[in-house]
Structure formats: C-alpha cells, structure tokens
Amino acid sequence: MTANCADPAFSTSRDRFEQVCSFLGDQEAASLTHGELEQQLSVDLRELVRLLYQDHLDLRAAGEQRRDDVVDAGGSRRARVEASHVRPLQTIFGAVDVTRLAYRRRGQANLYPADAALNLPRELHSHGLRELSAIESSRGSFEDASDAIRRASGVR
C-alpha cells in the first residue's frame, strides 16, 4: 500500500481541509473572537482528522489481500471469504467504519485477520477512547467524566 495525501483515496478529507481553509479566509471567520475561532477550529479539525482516519481505513480495506492461511483456533481452514464486512469503531475523533474481509465457515463465527492487524477491540470503543474514559472516570463522577470526554473528543 503506497499512497499519500494526494492519492484519490484521500479526496474526502482533502475536500474537508479545503472547506476549513475557505472558512478561515472568509468574512464569517474574520468576525469571530479568538475563543469562538478556537472552538470552531476544534470541531472542524476533529472532523478533518476523523475523515483522514476513515480515508486511511478505506484505503487499507481496498488493498486487503485475500489470504489462504486463515485457520480457526481448532485448526480448521477458512477458505470461504466475503468482502465488504463493516463494523463501527468509535474513536477519539468520532465514529468510523472498518471494512474488511470475512473468513467464513458454516456454523462458526467469522474471522477477520484485518481486525487483528489493526489490533481492534471486540467492542465499539477504540483503545484511545477507552484510555481517555479510564483517565477521566478516575477523576470524579460519571457525569464529569462524560463531559470531559465530550470536550476533549466530541464523542458522547
């Protein structure tokens, strides 16, 4: 996988970057106080990074190669493969979708080698969001932790 941000795979995030630059150059941004501008950029740039993350995941999915060596814990080979299996992932930047190949066997749970390569948790929330939650929840109430996470990441 050789790509850079000029690659067409990053067109969505590049468009968002251009929108942010355009906003910064227009009259609306010029009329904001520094605090209002800081708040707006915090939201805009978090969304830009979320889109970069999503574009990268989509690029990885497009380049995922079918494997012939996938076996389950019992040693049974998984030869049947389906593309385009999607799972959500809530990150510190917001929600993204992870698309990957599913290695199937009738009556058995699917295997997803790409999940292991990404070290994805089984649950919805990313390791980064879990770490932030653990740090914030150790500081006080659930409500305070939820508020701090929302302020830092935009995630509820």
pTM: 0.86
Residue 151: what pLDDT?
Answer: 74
Residue 5: what pLDDT?
Answer: 67
Residue 111: what pLDDT?
Answer: 97
Residue 113: what pLDDT?
Answer: 97
* Residues 112 and 101 sit within 8 Å (Cβ to Cβ): yes
Residue 132: what pLDDT?
Answer: 85
Residue 156: what pLDDT?
Answer: 73
The alpha carbon dihedral of 62, 68, 72, 77 has a sign of positive
Kindly report the CA angle at 72 between 98 and 90, in degrees rounded to 5? 20
pLDDT by residue for the chain (156 residues), tens only, comes to 666 766 789 999 999 999 999 999 999 999 999 999 999 999 999 999 999 999 999 999 999 999 999 999 999 999 999 999 999 999 999 999 999 999 999 999 999 999 999 999 999 999 999 988 888 888 878 787 777 777 777 777
Residue 1: what pLDDT?
Answer: 60
Residue 2: what pLDDT?
Answer: 64
CA atoms of 110 and 106, how far apart (whole Å):
9
Query: What is the distance of C-alpha 75 from the center of its chain?
Result: 32
Residue 150: what pLDDT?
Answer: 75
Residue 3: what pLDDT?
Answer: 64
